Amino acid sequence: MSDCYLGIDIGTSGVKVVAADRRGKIVASATEAFDFDRPRPGWAETPPSRWWAATAAATRRLVESLGRRSIASIGLSGQMHGSVFLDADALKNAGRSPIGALRPALMWNDQRTEPQRAEIENLLGGRRACVEASGCPALCGLTAPKLLWLREHEPDIAARIAGMCLPKDYIALLLTGAFATDVGEGSGTMLFDNEARAWNARTLAALGVDREILPDAVEAGTIIGQVTAWAASQTWLPEGTPLAIGSGDNQAAAIGAGVVDPGEALAIVGTSGVVLAPSETHTPDLAGETPGRLNLFCDATGRGGRAGKWMLSGCMLSAAGSLEWARGVLAPGESFETLLGGAGEIAPGCEGLIFLPYLTGERCPIPDPEARGGWIGLTRSHTRAHLVRAVLEGVAFGLAQIMDIVREACGPAERVLVTGGGAKSAVWRRILADAFGSLVVPFEADEGSALGAAAMGAHGVGAFDDIASLARAWVRLGEPAEPDPAPALLKARAVYDRLYHDLHPASASLAAIDRGEADR
């Protein structure tokens, strides 16, 4: 019998559970898909019970497949910024019985909170002051604006809140009964002082947020509790298994990729798209006319009383999500492999066709919930394969814009490691290498945030002295893609960089029409 370390990742469209041995080899995995709800344009929410049902189903299948292997620890990862609102009964009964939330959780890609975002920016003294206080500007998808929205639009529910937490923290609550979060998730709420690695008393006072509704914030590798008897009956996880709180999906992906030291960069091509780089120091992005182009978060390298470091990151809202949408409208039911095979036959630059991936507004480098996407430059000569290739290039251009800002803030990186569903495509990796102008390196077995969660659990029980040594033992790289950008691709990127600004008035008018239709 041998130990393994479990990682559970609560994603946007599914739960993934992996079990890794001490060498980082995946010995079992299971997934359970779900969707989120879109009750109005720009809204995105999910009943948290959906996450729990998927987690329980996936863990049962995984435990059944492990045979005689024992589980030494569990680590968590999850979509950031989502807001789960709980009453006192939920907190009291957690870990002993099913618990519900007061309402569906508002997700990271929810854009309903523009008035509240602006209110927070005003209350805290402007964009620069927000970045100085929290590492982030006021953005619609972050947690604090959602709480203000709830107080304004659903005051009866807001009055009953006894606890507010993030998606993976809800799963931790059900598994262990412990109400906790980690410093990485905390630093994505706008309510956190990520230099002190604690809730920001001045911000809480300015926004009228009661500290008592917030969970304790600890380092990612901290063991917060053990699987309860009730949770074990639901998930088949062994009762008493220690659980590390883990961190947000981006921090977990960095751990799973071994991107823990300055001079490295990671691109995550998931539903959203993220570029991140580690930082040894607490250095918010205050350069230039627009402070906070990048968000400064606490990273996931800490454990117990040992503090971790920080990371700078930028997030575009629709990366592989753009491709998923395009498949749904262009080729429903067709495999991604078939869809991308045709795109690989199209010349770089798509014969003058560009895709803007602003399907749910945009965050970085354009913080605009009213940004609108589309194919620009269509002619009768363009085929479905051109449309798909343009999506791949448009997302790559958006990520390259963020990469340019990361390089400006953190310096050059010799290579860019890539993870996420989109990174599995060799065609997309080549496009990313050309767009970045850098070597792009995938992983032999890309388990992303789930593997990072397992690593944080292993770190939590002392299987390794530090995350860096764990990463050296676990990370195995795949075949790199070298940059060789065609002139047509570079010209298309130059046009892409101008299009948002050129089309902004039209996008704002279309967003107004969209809101009018929703109101009738």
The three-state secondary structure class of 402 is: helix
- Residue ranges with strand state E in 303-434: 310-316, 354-356, 374-376, 415-419
CA distance 341 to 332: 16
CA distance 283 to 328: 41
249 is catalytic: yes
- Smallest CA-to-CA distance from 12 within 356, 331, 274 is with 274
Q: For residue 393, give the H/E element and its range.
A: helix 384-410
CA distance 31 to 16: 4
Catalytic position from the list 182, 193, 249, 299: 249
| CA dihedral angle for residue 222, residue 298, residue 132, residue 120, rounded to 10 degrees | -70
Q: Based on DSSP, count helices (H) and strands (E) in the chain, helices before strands.
A: 18, 22
Q: Is 333 left (phi over 0), alpha (psi -120 to 50) or beta?
A: left
Give Cα 513 to chain centroid, integer Å.
Answer: 30
> Which residues are paired to 46 by β-bridges?
105
Q: Residues 320, 274: contact at Cβ < 8 Å?
A: no
CA distance 172 to 223: 11
Q: Residues 74, 242: contact at Cβ < 8 Å?
A: yes
CA distance 382 to 355: 13
The type of residue at 156 is D
Q: Residues 169, 215: contact at Cβ < 8 Å?
A: yes
Q: Distances in Å between the alpha carbon of 415 and those of 145, 269, 270, 439, 482?
A: 36, 16, 19, 5, 10
- Residues labelled as active-site residues: 249
